[in-house]
Amino acid sequence: MMMLLVCHLSVFAQYDNIWILKTSGLEFSTGVPIEVHPDVTKHFGGVQRSCITTKEVNNRFQSEGLFIENKFFDTLNSKQQLPHDLVFTDLSRNVTQGSFFLPSDNPNLYYFLYALPVRNNCAFGLCDDFRTIYCYWIDVSANGGKGEVVYVDSILNEELSCHRFTACRHANGRDWWIFAHRENTNVYYRILLSNGVFQADTQIIGSNISKEDAAGGISVFSRSGEMYAANIPIGKDTNSVFGTDLFDFDRCTGKLSNHRQIITPFQQFNLGCAFSPDNRFLYINSYNFLYQYDIAEDTLLMIDSSSEFTFMKMALAPDNKIYLCHNIQQTSLSVISNPNAKGENCLFQFQGLQLNYYNNVLPNFPYYYLGALEGSACDTLKTSVKEVIAEGEVKVYPNPTKRELNVLHFIPNNEKLQFRFTDNLGRLTGTTIVNSSYMETKLDMGNLADGIYYLNIIGDKGFKYNTKVVVKN
């Protein structure tokens, strides 16, 4: 079976074609899900899964919130001590949406975003909170194509509510918006990832999600990138509200708007949600009920109820079907075969996909295939040289680099720029003066030892730019 899997990947490889489940996997390369049985039980426990198939080196990386493995089931080597070496994080395995992988502009660089829980109070998929979001930089070409963690960066250190950790492509088709939620508030963190640099901002909107009541739940963006939904368990008494928040989303600014609260009956926590491929419907599940919310008509229909096997997480797959896993480990997944259709025409099949191995887990994927938004004011990816970046923008690539670093910059006011490189100890390793504020500058990095360096660009009229550069010869 594994030989067939490798053959499919070499021809049809996409980032989300392989789903790592509890004790087996699904492969969607042929358009029909085929169960494969990688030995994921070697290290993986709990209910957290994230994975990505790399196009360039025919590899796959996967994690359950503690280990990162390649498709050969080798735990990746690291040049830096990893956060889970310092803090007990076995509880991270019980977070349903606490990590994901992202590709970068550099075909050999992938990011693993990981929200590290800090309180050992996780059971049945419920966990108190996160404290720090880390980014692992993975060089997929290193170690003979098996991959290696070359750098670990702490990008946010706050009290974050458990689960609800996802991302969406920026309107320029290159960068990413990363979303997390602050516990006991209605504060969202939106983190812009651009050229290996993370910039965090906040927005106050939507419903409060308290730490005590945050019993599971996920968040998801629509495939169009125009909407965002998050399950919102609120309250524990007879007046409790159980539902899902729905927002419009601006991929250019990263801002949420037009908040709508979808209230579901029967006082059960909402644990999963997924948009239909055409963005018309939002599907929501609690423990025993499956709902379809018509976004255009503002109506909620119950699609199914189950008292025998409780529903857990759901996800939209590459075959345009929505799959649901169950809390009790079953050798099946439930399926919504036609999610673009209203009501019973959506063709929900309880336990519709029979498997050979038991599963109660689905992986966490952002939607990787959104391109630049046509006509957007921040759509800066054009064909002519002078439109490659916007005014005031700096692009540094490839990062990590081996010998040459390209710095593309478009700085207003015709500033003279000084490029300064320092190492981890603050020692100056090189300087360059650039007299043009719009050009592409090529810097020779071959004389620098492997490691992390800091590029500071200083203009004579006040412009400043700082970023990290990884050198790996």
DSSP codes, 364-379: ----TT----TT-TT-
pLDDT tens per residue across span 237-268: 445 567 899 999 999 999 999 999 999 887 78
Picking from 359, 394, 410, the residue at the C-terminal end of a domain is 359
Average pLDDT of 170-178?
93
364 domain-assigned: no
Same domain, 111 and 206: yes
What mean pLDDT value characterizes the chain? 80
> Which of 92-96, 107-111, 204-208, 362-366 bottoms out in mean pLDDT, i.e. has the lowest?
92-96
pLDDT at position 201 is 87
Same domain, 213 and 82: yes
Q: What is the CATH number of the domain that holds 400?
A: 2.60.40.3080
Same domain, 182 and 320: yes
375 domain-assigned: no
Query: In angstroms, rounded to a whole number, what is the distance separating the alpha carbons of residues 385 and 83?
Result: 41
391 domain-assigned: yes
373 domain-assigned: no
pLDDT at position 118 is 54
Average pLDDT of 284-310?
89
Residue 405's DSSP bridge partners are: 443
164 domain-assigned: yes
96 pLDDT more than 90:
no
Q: DSSP class of residue 144?
A: H
Q: How confident is the model at residue 431 (pLDDT cuts 50, 70, 90)?
A: confident
pLDDT at position 318 is 94
Chain mean position to CA 317: 15
Buried b (16+ CB within 10 A) or exposed e, 194-210: bbbbbeeeebeebbbbe
> Which of 1-10, 224-233, 296-305, 394-403 bottoms out in mean pLDDT, i.e. has the lowest?
1-10
Which residue's entry shows tokens 């996920």? 218
pLDDT at position 178 is 95
Which residue type is seen at 262?
I
Query: In angstroms, rounded to a whole number, what is the distance separating the alpha carbons of residues 116 and 136?
Result: 12
Q: DSSP class of residue 412?
A: G
Name the percent of the chain lying above pLDDT 70: 77
Identify whether the C-beta of residue 113 lies closer than 8 Å to the C-beta of residue 165: yes
Same domain, 269 and 121: yes
Same domain, 24 and 77: yes
133 pLDDT more than 90:
no
Identify whether the C-beta of residue 335 lies closer than 8 Å to the C-beta of residue 350: no
Query: In angstroms, rounded to a whole number, what is the distance separating the alpha carbons of residues 104 and 149?
Result: 15
Select, from the ranges 305-309, 320-324, 413-417, the one with the highest average predicted confidence (pLDDT): 320-324
| CA atoms 114, 119, 124, 126: torsion sign | negative
Higher pLDDT, 1 or 470: 470
Same domain, 24 and 107: yes
Q: What is the CATH number of the domain that holds 103?
A: 2.130.10.10
Residue closest to 48 by CA, chosen among 109, 108, 125, 118 = 125
pLDDT tens per residue across span 433-470: 776 555 667 788 878 888 888 998 888 888 888 888 88
Picking from 343, 359, 375, the residue at the C-terminal end of a domain is 359
235 domain-assigned: yes
Quick one: tokens of 134? Answer: 């880390």
pLDDT at position 299 is 97
Buried b (16+ CB within 10 A) or exposed e, 43-55: bbebbbbbbbbbe
Same domain, 348 and 394: no
Phi, psi for residue 4 in degrees, rounded to 5: -65, -40
46 pLDDT more than 70:
no
| CA atoms 182, 188, 193, 198: torsion sign | negative
Query: In angstroms, rounded to a whole number, what is the distance separating the alpha carbons of residues 164 and 19?
Result: 19
Same domain, 299 and 399: no
Which residue's entry shows tokens 């880390």? 134
| Beta carbons within 10 angstroms of residue 31's beta carbon | 10
Same domain, 405 and 258: no
Same domain, 283 and 394: no
Average pLDDT of 133-157?
86
Select, from the ranges 37-41, 93-97, 133-137, 292-296, the one with the highest average predicted confidence (pLDDT): 292-296
196 domain-assigned: yes
369 domain-assigned: no
Picking from 311, 344, 359, the residue at the C-terminal end of a domain is 359
Query: In angstroms, rounded to a whole number, what is the distance separating the alpha carbons of residues 325 and 341?
Result: 21
What domain range is 438 assigned to? Answer: 385-471
Q: How confident is the model at residue 78 (pLDDT cuts 50, 70, 90)?
A: confident
pLDDT at position 385 is 31
Average pLDDT of 400-427?
81
Same domain, 334 and 452: no
Quick one: tokens of 140? Answer: 């997929």
Counting the structural domains of the chain, the total is: 2
Q: pTM for this structure?
A: 0.77
Same domain, 279 and 421: no
